[in-house]
Amino acid sequence: MSDIRHNWTREEIREIYDRPLLSLVLEAANVHAKNHVYGEVQISSLLSIKTGGCSEDCAYCPQAARYQTGVKVQALMKVDEVLAAAENAKAGGASRFCMGAAWREVRDNRDFDRVIDMVKAVNSLDMEVCCTLGMLSPQQAERLADAGLYAYNHNVDTSEEHYGEVITTRTYDDRLKTLSNVRKAGISVCSGGIIGLGETDSDRIGMLQTLCNLPQHPESVPINVLVPVDGTPLAENSRVPFDELVRMIATARIVMPHSAVRLSAGRLALSVSEQAMCFMAGANSIFAGDKLLTTPNPEYNADKDMFRILGLTPKAAFADGHPKNKAKAEQHEPA
Ligand code: SAM
Ligand code: DTB
Ligand code: SF4
């Protein structure tokens, strides 16, 4: 029988989340080793192709125009600049290249035409091309898929109940609608969230429940730890204790056994041994490069050392096949 479930109750997820940490990590490590190459980690590179000036009010985000965060607004980059950055990322070992834009949603204009050209250009490098551009219509998702987009990142960020405390300019349902548009276009889904927003354990469990009860699990689940940025409403939030991050990763690994779990924003505040425990608990993807979108991330050499010390190996591009083929396979699995 398939170990993929889409009918998790909050109580079942809570029972996992609340286990003694070492037992939880052991269970997650077993699930991880059964479904993935243990110690293999996907390296993704991030590039902010359009920075700042965003109309949304996401309380964590340094790119929202309404908060004074010192982020410099930058118009959409040129295709050849993006291609050069992707080539550089590939040379540094990245197999996925993710382009982020500080947009509420994609509009059908010349900027979108240019993003389509960026997708085509990066695709020609044989990298997994990913975008995160805000909300998408079904037609826009199709256009991105036709251009060769491999994955689309769109986070639910937190539980449905807590969402309104963090963002008021769009709804949880808006987010889910875009995820469904992405899925229907045959694009690999990357969706996760942030811890450290002032949410409760129930909210964290609720967020995982939303993700693991989607009609198909996201192929990639980023777990971000809030990077507090001066000027945002959450600038003074206290740091998430490391054991809570491990708990979150391990629970995500158990309820979504086949997905990549990405240890995303917040790595700069973690030691190599803390990150090691995250990898043991099922994290098998990171963002590498000294900048995320606007905030710092570990230096290239620090990550290189970490890979050497922990014996991690970078995962090749397209090792899991194309999502279009996988989608067909999963439809035949019992719920
Ligand atoms: N504007 C698009 C959107 O909101 O979907 C794409 C870019 S947005 C910056 C991508 C994701 O980055 C957000 O959904 C959020 O999860 C994460 N993020 C933004 N600011 C963050 C912060 N300060 N700490 C951790 N994660 C953050
Ligand atoms: C995701 O879940 N995390 C990345 C990526 N998807 C786009 C973004 C993290 C952003 C952290 C804040 C910043 O650097 O601006
Ligand atoms: Fe805009 Fe995305 Fe930042 Fe929200 S998370 S303010 S939508 S860039």
* Ligand nearest to the backbone CA of 60: 1
Residue 233 pLDDT: 98
Query: Which residue range(s) make up the domain with 231?
Result: 10-316
CA dist list (Å): 17 to 24, 123, 142, 227, 263 = 8, 38, 37, 23, 17
d(CA 61, CA 226): 9
Two tokens, residue 124: 């020609």
pLDDT band with cut points at 50, 70 and 90 for residue 317: confident
Is residue 321 domain-resident?
A: no
pLDDT score recorded for residue 156: 98
Average pLDDT, the chain: 94
**Which of 177, 196, 188 has the alpha carbon at shortest distance from 131?**
188
Displacement of CA 114 from its chain's centroid (Å):
23
User: What's the angle, vertex CA 73, arms to CA 59 and CA 118, rounded to 5?
Assistant: 100
Asked if residue 330 belongs to a domain, the reply is no
Would the pLDDT of 332 be above 50?
no
State both tokens at 193.
């969230």
Distance in Å, CA 253 to ligand 3 centroid: 27
Rounded Cα–Cα distance for residues 5 and 12 (Å) = 12
Atom of ligand 1 nearest to the CA of 193: 16
Q: How confident is the model at residue 316 (pLDDT cuts 50, 70, 90)?
A: confident
pLDDT in tens, 197-230: 999 999 999 999 999 999 999 999 999 999 999 9
The answer to whether 63 and 102 have CB atoms below 8 angstroms apart is: yes
Q: Is residue 294 part of a domain?
A: yes
pLDDT in tens, 12-68: 999 999 999 999 999 999 999 999 999 999 999 999 999 999 999 999 999 999 999
Question: Is residue 145 in a domain?
Answer: yes
Residue 27 lies in a domain: yes
Ligand 1: residue whose CA is nearest its atom 2:
134
331 pLDDT more than 90: no
Give dist(CA 161, CA 171) in Å, integer: 11
Instruction: Report CA(213)–ligand 2 centroid distance (Å).
Output: 24
Query: pTM to 2 decimals?
Result: 0.95
Å from CA of 38 to ligand 3 middle: 34
- Judge whether 216 lies within some domain: yes
Q: How far is the CA of 331 from the centre of ligand 1 (A)?
A: 30
Q: What is the pLDDT of residues 117-153, one digit of tens each?
A: 999 999 999 999 999 999 999 999 999 999 999 999 9
Lowest mean pLDDT among 16-25, 63-72, 79-88, 309-318: 309-318
Q: Does residue 132 have its Cβ closer than 6 Å to ligand 2?
A: yes
Residue 93 belongs to a domain: yes
pLDDT over 90 (residue 2): no
Residue 32's identity, in one-letter code, is: H
For ligand 1, pick from 56, 57, 61 the residue to mutate: most ligand atoms within 8 Å of CB: 61
Do the beta carbons of residue 13 and residue 209 sit within 8 Å?
A: yes
> Stretch 312-318: mean pLDDT, rounded?
88
Cβ-in-10-Å burial (0-12, 13-18, 19+) of 159 comes to buried
Place of tokens 């050069």: 84
What pLDDT is recorded for position 226?
98
CB within 8 Å of 27: residues ≥ 6 apart: 16, 19, 250, 254
The reply to whether 3 falls in a domain is no
Q: Do the beta carbons of residue 285 and residue 261 sit within 8 Å?
A: yes
End-to-end CA distance of the chain: 10
Q: What is the CATH number of the domain that holds 60?
A: 3.20.20.70
**Structural tokens at position 12:** 């079942």
For residues 125 and 94, the answer to whether their CB atoms sit within 8 Å is no
How confident is residue 328, by pLDDT bands cut at 50, 70 and 90? very low
Give the tens place of pLDDT for each residue, 90-120: 998 899 999 999 999 999 999 999 999 999 9
Whether 197 is in the pocket of ligand 3, judged by its Cβ within 6 Å, is no
Indicate which atom in ligand 1 lies nearest the CA of residue 60: 23
Number of residues written out for the chain? 335
Percentage of the chain with pLDDT > 90?
92
Residue type, 8: W
The residues annotated with a catalytic role in the active site are 54, 58, 61, 98, 130, 190, 262
Q: How many domains does the chain have?
A: 1
Residues of the chain with pLDDT > 70, as a percent, come to 95
The ligand that comes nearest to the alpha carbon of residue 264 is: 2
The reported pLDDT for the residue numbered 318 is 84
Tell me if 54 CB under 6 Å of ligand 2.
no
